[in-house]
Structure 1
C-alpha cells in the first residue's frame, strides 16, 4: 500500500509536467529530461525517508514489547513472592499462637503477678512524677516508667528495684535531707542550688519555699512567698547544722496549701481593692482615730488634775475645770446662796464645751463610715453588672474587681464605724463623769454656803436685839 506522502509527490510531479507541456512549443527537449530526472530523484528521496521512519517505528514497537514482557515477568515474580510471604505469615501466626499458648500454660499465675506489678509501678510512677523526692533521685522516674509500660515479664532485679524505690519513698517521708538540685528563679534562669527537703511535703532554699516543676524536672520558687515569719523559720532551717532541731512549717498537701496561701491577698491589697471609696473610709477612720487619741489624753490629763484638786479644795488652781469653778466661790465667799448657785452654774457651763469638744465628730464618723461602705457596695455592683453586660459571665476574673470593691467597702465601713461607736461612748462617758464631778462640787459649795448663811443671819439678829 502506497503511503499518502507518495501520492503527494506524484501529484506534484504531474502538475510540473502539465505546466511544462502548456509552455511554448519551442521548449528544448533537454529541459524535459532534466525535469524527469528531478522527479525521479525526489521520489527516491521520499521513499528513503519513508523507509527510515517505518524502521524507527518497528524498533520502538519491539522495545515496548520487550518492556511489556519484562513488566509481566516482574509482576508474576511479585505475585509469587506475595503468595509465599502470605503463606509464611500464616505459618508464623500459627506458630506465635502456639508459643503464646505454651507461654500462658507455663507462666500460670505469673500473668496476674505481672499485672499487679505493672499497676503498682504505674501508680507509683504517677505519684513520683509530682514528688519532690524524685528530684533527689532523678533516675527513679525513668525506671518506673519503663516497668509500667513493659510488655514482658519483669525480671527479679526489676522487682527488687521496685521494692527498693518504694522503701526509699517511705523512708523519705520521715527524713530531712539536703541535696543539690536545679532551681528556676523568677527570671527563668536555672541554677544548681542546695535544697532542704522536709519529707515529701516541703522544699526550701534559703528563705524561699519551692515547688516541683514536673515539665522541667526542677524546682521553681513560688511567685509570691508566704509571710515573713514562715520565711524566717525556713531560713533558720536552711542554715541549721546537721542534727539540729529546728521548727519549720510543713505543707501536708505537698504544695497545694502554699499555693493558696501565696494567693491570699495581703492587707494592703485588700485595702486597695476597695477603690476610692475605701480610701475615703480609711482616711476618715484615721482621722477619727487621731481625734479619739487626742480626746483620750486630754480628758485623762484633765481628770488627773481634777482628782488632785479634790484633795486640795481649799487651794484651787486655774489649771483644771474644778479649780476654776472653786475660784468663783473663794473669790466671793459672802455671796447669797442663790447668787452663788447662778455663778457656779455659769462656771460649770463654761467648762462643759471644752470637756465635750469634738466628741460629736466621732459620732458623725461612726454614722458616715457604714454609709460610705454602702455607697462602695452599690458602686461595685454597678461595675460588676456593666462587666457582665460587656463580657458575659464566662470569666469570673473580670467580675472580681467590682465584687471586691462591693465587699471590701462594706467591711471597711464597719471596721471604721464599730471602733468609732465604742470610742465615742467611752470618751463621752468620761467627759460626762468629769462634768458630774463639777456639778457635785458646785452643789456641795452651794449647800455649804446655805448652811452657813442662816447662822450668819441669826447671829446678826441676836446682836441687834442686845
Structure 2
C-alpha cells in the first residue's frame, strides 16, 4: 500500500477485470459458441422433419448458434419474412448475452488511468502540505509524496492497458461470431423456404362466353 489509500479502488478494479476476462475466455470459446457441424445437422433434421419441441428446446439451450437455429426452425411453416424477423429478434438477444460484462471491462479500462491520476494528485497534495509544515529540511518527506504519486499512476496504467486491449479483443471476437452465425442462419433460411415444395397452380376460370364457345355443336 505504498501508493496510499487511492490504491484500493485500483486493486478492486484489477480483481474485477481479471474475473471478467477469465469468464469471457471460457464462455466465448469457439466450440461453445459455434459447435462444429451443428448447422449442417440442423438442416438435415429440418429436411426430414425430425425436430419436435423437446428437441428444439435442447438445441436452443446448447449454444448461441443452436438458439438462433432453433428459433428459425420453430417457425419453419411461416413465410420467409416472418422467419427472418424471428432470426433477427433472437440474434439481438444472443449478441447481448455474448457481450455480457464487456461494458464493465471497458469502464475499468477507462477509469484506471483516472484513478491513477487521482492518486497522483493526492500524493502531490500531501507532499506540498508537508513542505508547508516542515519546510525543505527533510527531503524524505518529498520523496515519499512523489513515490506515492508515481506508484498510483503506474498501477492505474497497469490495470487499464490490459483491460482496454482485452475489451477490444472480445468485441472483435463477438463481431466475428455474429458474422458466422448470420451466415449459418441464412443457409438454414434458404433451406426452409427456397427448397419448400411450391403449391400446385390453380386452374384458370373461364368466362361464360368462352365456356359456351368451347361446347361441341349438337
The bucket for the TM-score relative to the shorter chain is: 0.7 to 0.9
Length-normalised TM-score, structure 2: 0.79
The structure showing larger relative contact order (alpha-carbon pairs under 8 Å, at least 6 residues apart) is: 2
- Matched with 1:353 is 96
Q: Distance in 2 between matches of 1:335 and 1:435?
A: 24
- Matched with 2:108 is 365
Q: Distance in 1 between matches of 2:33 and 2:41?
A: 11
* 1:306 maps onto 2:34 in alignment: yes
Indicate which of 376, 388, 404 corresponds to 2:119: 376
- Matched with 2:22 is 293
What secondary structure does 1:281 align onto? helix
* 1:274 maps onto 2:16 in alignment: no
* 1:396 maps onto 2:139 in alignment: yes
* 1:430 maps onto 2:173 in alignment: yes
Gap regions ≥5 residues in structure 1: 1-271
Indicate which of 157, 177, 198 corresponds to 1:456: 198
Q: Which has the higher helix share?
A: 2
Indicate which of 65, 69, 76 corresponds to 1:326: 69
Provide closer, same or farther for how the CA distance between residues 363 and 292 of structure 1 changes in structure 2, counting only shifts above 3 A: same
Residues 112, 159 of structure 2: 8 Å contact kept: yes
Q: Distance in 2 between matches of 1:332 and 1:364?
A: 39
| Count of equivalent residues | 189
Give the Å deviation of 1:305: 5.0
Residues 303, 434 of structure 1: 8 Å contact kept: no
- Matched with 2:12 is 283
Q: Looking at CA atoms only, which structure, 1 or 2, has the larger radius of gyration?
A: 1
- Matched with 2:79 is 336
Q: Distance in 1 between matches of 2:16 and 2:32?
A: 26
- Decide which moves more: 332-341 or 378-387: 332-341
Provide closer, same or farther for how the CA distance between residues 311 and 395 of structure 1 changes in structure 2, counting only shifts above 3 A: farther
* 1:421 maps onto 2:167 in alignment: no
What secondary structure does 1:275 align onto? coil
Residues 35, 63 of structure 2: 8 Å contact kept: no
What secondary structure does 1:452 align onto? coil
- Matched with 1:405 is 148
What secondary structure does 2:35 align onto? helix
Q: Distance in 2 between matches of 1:331 and 1:283?
A: 45
Please list, as runs of the form range in 1=range in 2, the aligned pairs for 1:16-415 lying within 5 A after superposition.
272-300=1-29, 303-308=31-36, 309-310=38-39, 312-313=41-42, 314-315=44-45, 317-318=59-60, 319-415=62-158
Q: Distance in 1 between matches of 2:135 and 2:31?
A: 62
Q: Distance in 1 between matches of 2:116 and 2:72?
A: 52
Q: Distance in 2 between matches of 1:311 and 1:449?
A: 13
Q: Distance in 2 between matches of 1:392 and 1:305?
A: 64
Q: Distance in 2 between matches of 1:396 and 1:326?
A: 69
